[in-house]
Amino acid sequence: MIVKDIDSRLIITKFAMHGYNIHPSAVELLKGMKEDIDGIIAEICRTANGCFIITPEEIKPIISKFKVKTVSPVQSIQPKSEAEMAKEEIKKVKSAEVREVSVLKDITGKSSCRGTVEDFVVYFNSRLEKISRILKPRLKAIPISAIGKVRTQDIDVIGIVNEVREVNQNTAIFELEDRTGIVSVVATGKIKEIAMELMGDEVIGVSGTIRGGRSIMAERIVFPDIPNGSKTIKKDFAIAFISDAHFGSNTFLEKEWEMFLKWLNGEIGEGSEKVKYLVVAGDVVDGVGVYPGQEHELTIFDIYEQYEEAASQLDRVPDHIKIILAPGNHDAVRQAEPQPCLPKEFSDLFGKNVTHVGNPSLLDLDGLKLLIYHGRSLDDLMAKIPRLNYERPHEALYELLKRRHLAPMYGQRSPIAPEREDYLVIDEVPDILHTGHVHTYGVGFYRGVFCINSSTWQSQTEFQKKVNLNPMPGKVAVYQPGGNVMRLNFYNN
Ligand SMILES: [Fe+2]
């Protein structure tokens, strides 16, 4: 097929059909080509090898292979309209009013992993060491290799849980591993019930008696749980929590979002004047090529345009509210956690009152510790622990705090990048834990920590229909530390 003067939108759409995003500079290279553009795009996607954004580097070798001539695009510079100039002026004012949010922990700019086997060894050692440090004062743990060499029969050990097997109605066996060895742990009765809820790869302590020289009969399973009892922090401001806006999706709930903006701007309802922070826990856009057939469920096919839309919508949030934006699995960053913040090419689109952070990240907001995590591991927790469910997602957050880890289970639905340090360990107890991802809403307190799973701005998607997942869109928790939790509902169902 000979195509003359195809435009950017068509190129972007064609790449989206293959499940790829394309950089604007790469689009420019393809514009105006007089060759078989469909064939070239198919070849580019075939050789792109799953890269997140196709850049000129991926395209240039294919272009030379096809020996096509490219026509340089004519750059047209339009004079700025009055509206655009006014918008820039507003952004300047916003940047002058910026208040800093201090980031206590975030992978952004610190990633060193290459994904080698050695990296995974270092990563899991970091997990073991960090959580062992929490457990050690609570146990008299010996190295696993010392079992059988100590005189006493009663011992404590700390290790990473390997596979848990149910032997019969009353008994389960699991393996525990530390840097010195592996031991089998037998759990019966009530302990068996606890063992059946163990996530693979979490770090726990076990107290028990040595059985037959090489296994332990468990008497107690010790979680690295956060301390009981809470400090009461009182603040005169409130924080609004949202996530999963999915700008660009054809199921985006425009009317409900408009109502929320009206509320934030004090045009409807009450209480917005207290809001000092708006926290967004990922999936601000729907992305491109996130799942097969997604192109049929998009209204904006270009990832850049999706972020432009997200930025212009967040620009409508009043200037005195500081926005904190973390990515999720639909965002344009690496899929494996911990995810760094949005790259500059996207973050630059947002106003200066938006602070971009990674997933997860621990922040200090005026003396309040906020831990943000998109929540991908919640799917793993719901699948593993039958008493948890999507109608009460905040209860899964209690389990994360109890395990002191945001994605305890490796190799399931939460891809993990093996960094030298395990950023997913909850080593510092936050005042607030905020997640999203599962599109349902729930809030509660666990040992003094405010846990919130914020909802979504997307109605039920085709995929959710197939898996029978009922989202709870348009709900917003507004929390004033030491005061009330307000639940706003902008969606009538
Ligand atoms: Fe998500």
CA of 329 to the centre of ligand 1 (A): 5
- Higher pLDDT, residue 414 or 268: 268
Across the range 212-235, mean pLDDT stands at 89
Domain ranges of the chain: 8-66, 102-110+229-489, 117-222
CA of 458 to the centre of ligand 1 (A): 12
CA of 472 to the centre of ligand 1 (A): 14
Query: With the CA atoms of 189, 406, 460 and 10 taken in that order, what torsion angle do they form, in degrees rounded to the nearest 10?
Result: -140
d(C-alpha 396, C-alpha 416), whole Å = 19
CA of 194 to the centre of ligand 1 (A): 29
CA of 328 to the centre of ligand 1 (A): 5
CA of 122 to the centre of ligand 1 (A): 28
- Dump strand ranges (E) for 270-345: 275-281, 322-326
For 23, residues 6+ apart whose C-beta sits below 8 A from its C-beta are 53, 54, 55, 56
- Domain 8-66 part of CATH 1.10.8: yes
CA of 126 to the centre of ligand 1 (A): 26
Model pLDDT for residues 347-363, shown as the tens digit of each residue: 999 999 999 999 999 99
CA of 282 to the centre of ligand 1 (A): 7
| Structure tokens that stand for 435 in this block | 């997640």
- Coil, helix or strand for 215? strand
Amino acid letter at 83?
Answer: A
Using 50, 70 and 90 to split pLDDT, how confident is the model at 421? very high
Q: Say if residues 21 and 289 touch (Cβ distance below 8 Å).
A: yes
CA of 290 to the centre of ligand 1 (A): 10
Average pLDDT of the chain is: 88
d(C-alpha 324, C-alpha 264), whole Å = 15
| Structure tokens that stand for 212 in this block | 């037959």
d(C-alpha 19, C-alpha 293), whole Å = 8
- Candidates 479, 451, 347, 423; CA nearest to 104 is 423
Model pLDDT for residues 359-387, shown as the tens digit of each residue: 999 999 999 999 999 999 999 999 999 99
For 352, residues 6+ apart whose C-beta sits below 8 A from its C-beta are 91, 94, 95, 98
Pick the CATH number of 102-110+229-489 from 1.10.760.10, 3.40.47.10, 3.60.21.50, 3.30.530.20: 3.60.21.50
CA of 48 to the centre of ligand 1 (A): 24
| Structure tokens that stand for 220 in this block | 């107690």
- Residue 297 has φ and ψ, to the nearest 5°, of -115, 20
Model pLDDT, residue 50: 59
- Candidates 403, 410, 489; CA nearest to 454 is 489
- Helix pair angle (37-47, 56-66), 10° resolution: 130
CA of 356 to the centre of ligand 1 (A): 17
| Structure tokens that stand for 461 in this block | 């998607």
Model pTM score: 0.83
Rounded alpha-carbon distances, angstroms, from residue 429 to 104, 229, 256, 270, 402: 12, 12, 34, 32, 11
Rounded alpha-carbon distances, angstroms, from residue 365 to 182, 235, 352, 368, 371: 42, 11, 17, 5, 11
Q: If phi over 0 gives left and psi between -120 and 50 gives alpha, with beta otherwise, what is residue 489?
A: beta
CA of 285 to the centre of ligand 1 (A): 10
CA of 456 to the centre of ligand 1 (A): 10
State what percent of residues in the chain have pLDDT above 90: 70
CA of 373 to the centre of ligand 1 (A): 10
Tracing tokens 């997860």 back to the chain, one arrives at 360
CA of 330 to the centre of ligand 1 (A): 6
- Judged by average pLDDT, the poorest of 205-209, 292-296, 397-401 is 292-296
CA of 222 to the centre of ligand 1 (A): 31
Model pLDDT, residue 84: 59
Model pLDDT, residue 413: 85
Tracing tokens 């957050």 back to the chain, one arrives at 397
Model pLDDT, residue 3: 35
d(C-alpha 396, C-alpha 379), whole Å = 9
d(C-alpha 52, C-alpha 73), whole Å = 25
CA of 70 to the centre of ligand 1 (A): 39
Rounded alpha-carbon distances, angstroms, from residue 60 to 17, 30, 33, 187: 21, 10, 13, 60
- Residue 157 has φ and ψ, to the nearest 5°, of -135, 160
Model pLDDT for residues 164-193, shown as the tens digit of each residue: 999 999 999 999 999 999 999 999 999 999
CA of 245 to the centre of ligand 1 (A): 10
Pick the CATH number of 117-222 from 2.40.50.140, 1.10.3720.10, 2.60.40.10, 2.40.110.10: 2.40.50.140
| Residues whose beta carbons lie less than 5 angstroms from ion ligand 1 | 283, 328-329, 437
CA of 31 to the centre of ligand 1 (A): 33
| Structure tokens that stand for 454 in this block | 């914020």
- Coil, helix or strand for 102? strand
